[in-house]
Amino acid sequence: MNKSGFLNYALLLLFVTALFSCTTSEVEWITAGDAAEHNMSPDSLEKIVPLIKELTDQGKIPGAVFLVARHGEVVFTGAAGYRNREAEESYTENSIFRIASMTKPVVSVAVMQLWEQGKLGLQDPVSDYVSSFAEPVVLQGFNAADTTWTSISANREITIHDLLTHTSGISYGFLNRSMSAIYAKNGVPDLATAEPVSIEQTMDALGKLPLAHHPGEKYTYGLSIDLLGRVVEVVSGMSLAEYITCNITGPLRMNDTRFFYYDDVSARLAKVYAWSAEDESVVPMPERPGSNPDYPVEGAKSYFSGGSGLSSTVSDYFVFSQMILKKGEYRGVRILKEETVELMTSNQHGELAQSPFSAMGYGFWVSREQNADGTPGAINALGWGGAFNTWFTINPAKEIVAVVMSQVLFNPYGGELESGFRDIVNSAVQIP
């Protein structure tokens, strides 16, 4: 057996061992309910499929799968369009999607579990766990001709809090041309990769590269949660995949939510598409250097990206979301303490919040209601999305979870699916 084959075999044994060592009691796990009995209009919810079909006919998405739940029961779910358009293979309700940044809330939960156990502190310098982040520097000048750069010392070190709120100064390459060149030169990928590398290697390299700004200075979306994934590994002594399986997805029976698949899921895995401005439509995503559209089932299967590596289904992500809605518990399985979820879903940006109605918690965006005096009120909704056109939202007051998944990388029309779906779900609520 060659080195690559041995690695894959070892990872398979690791996954199987973790999966079967994390069990729960036998109960009906996901229950279905009647929309009308949960004060939601069935006629309104029926508009979701025509919305998906319209966007599919316009060439903006290949299709989508969705789920709507209220009071802990799934009241409407379905699929429309093609999992593989070229082969005319339709989506089904158990289709598997690459969820990209919807990995971030899951990894944020892992971090907060370790915080509850006293194994790390929110104000701890990340260099306590990944030493290359000691003495960070901030980019001052960049020469595009030879990708050299100059820097100044950062005003302080990056903390765990900075990483959870994306205020660390760590960017994504696709959002910053200078960082893109610097990351590429040093072998740091933006998204999950099929290359034979580990997050230990890439995060060690990232720590030696400049930040986009001083820690805590402002919000910058980037590789912060990938770094937290490595922190989880260091603190727990487990791979990120093993930790998440044994402490989150295993207990919650999210058996389809994984970094990589070693069994045959070809009949369920969604094909990846990308937007073509030339064709004005979605087209099969081409394979690029360091990137494989089929990374969950092909490639080295060694890179556990905490920011973008998981794949999942709408039903699995409903379970995760419902656990958050119920403040850390799902059907008797407690993942987090109530007060921890309250901390995660409250505004952690302080004065950095872009408006009094939306803010950043730990792992989620948070939308807030408005009080009569104009001050921010109770949480209205929270959620996150992914670069492959997946999205979820949780409304604690109305006890609603809504998930929709398509599969188009950086889709310029992805917002039409998300906003249309959200509007239909909100309009279906008859009694708060």
pLDDT in tens, 205-245: 999 999 999 999 999 999 999 999 999 999 999 999 999 99
14-23, 97-106, 360-369: least confidently modelled range: 14-23
The phi and psi torsions of 382 (rounded to 5 degrees) equal -150, 160
68-77, 88-97, 280-289, 340-349: least confidently modelled range: 280-289
Which domain does 228 fall in, by range?
A: 116-238
DSSP letter at 213 equals S
- Is residue 5 assigned to a domain? no
Same domain as 378, residue 314: yes
Which domain CATH number covers 67? Answer: 3.40.710.10
Q: Taking Cα atoms as reference points, which of 233, 199, 231 lies closest to residue 125?
A: 231
How far is the CA of 24 from the CAs of 240, 249, 313, 332, 412, in angstroms?
21, 11, 20, 9, 41
Same domain as 247, residue 234: no
Is pTM, for the whole model, over 0.85? yes
11-20, 157-166, 404-413: least confidently modelled range: 11-20
CB-based contacts of 205, cutoff 8 Å, min separation 6: 132, 186, 187, 188
180, 206, 238 - which closes a domain = 238
Q: What confidence score (pLDDT) does residue 293 get?
A: 80
Same domain as 309, residue 277: yes
Same domain as 325, residue 282: yes
Q: What confidence score (pLDDT) does residue 5 get?
A: 45
* Token pair of 164 as six digits: 């959870």
Same domain as 208, residue 90: no
Say if strands 408-409 and 273-276 run parallel, antiparallel, or are unpaired: parallel
Same domain as 353, residue 412: yes
The angle formed by the CA atoms of residues 12, 17 and 23, to the nearest 5 degrees, is: 130
- Is residue 4 assigned to a domain? no
Same domain as 325, residue 264: yes
Report whether pLDDT(22) > 80.
no
Q: Taking Cα atoms as reference points, which of 78, 35, 166, 125 lies closest to residue 421?
A: 78
Same domain as 315, residue 181: no
CA pair distance 41, 429, nearest whole angstrom: 7
- Is residue 94 assigned to a domain? yes
Q: What confidence score (pLDDT) does residue 372 get?
A: 74
Same domain as 287, residue 401: yes
The phi and psi torsions of 57 (rounded to 5 degrees) equal -65, -30
Let me know if 143 is exposed, middle or buried by CB neighbors in 10 A (0-12, 13-18, 19+). exposed
Q: What confidence score (pLDDT) does residue 356 get?
A: 54
pLDDT band at 290 (very low <50, low <70, confident <90, very high): low
Report whether pLDDT(24) > 60.
no
Same domain as 321, residue 253: yes
Q: What confidence score (pLDDT) does residue 67 get?
A: 98
223, 238, 253 - which closes a domain = 238
- Is residue 359 assigned to a domain? yes
CA pair distance 64, 107, nearest whole angstrom: 25
Average pLDDT over residues 106-124: 98
- Is residue 12 assigned to a domain? no
CA pair distance 316, 390, nearest whole angstrom: 13
Same domain as 251, residue 189: no
- Is residue 264 assigned to a domain? yes
* Token pair of 74 as six digits: 């799934």
* Percentage of the residues of the chain whose pLDDT score is greater than 70: 92
pLDDT in tens, 237-247: 999 999 999 99
Q: Taking Cα atoms as reference points, which of 258, 241, 267, 320 lies closest to residue 295?
A: 258
* Token pair of 247 as six digits: 């402490």
Same domain as 301, residue 250: yes
Strand extents, DSSP E, 192-295: 273-276, 281-284
- Mean of the per-residue pLDDT values of the chain: 91
- Is residue 2 assigned to a domain? no
- Torsion region of 369: left, alpha or beta (phi above 0 gives left; psi -120 to 50 gives alpha): beta
Give me Rg for the CA atoms of the chain: 21
The tally of domains found in the chain comes to: 2
Strand extents, DSSP E, 317-399: 329-330, 333-334, 358-360, 365-370, 376-386, 390-395
- Is residue 296 assigned to a domain? yes
Bridge partners of 311, per DSSP, are: 98, 258
How far is the CA of 41 from the CAs of 68, 280, 370, 392, 404, in angstroms?
12, 35, 26, 20, 19
238, 273, 289 - which closes a domain = 238
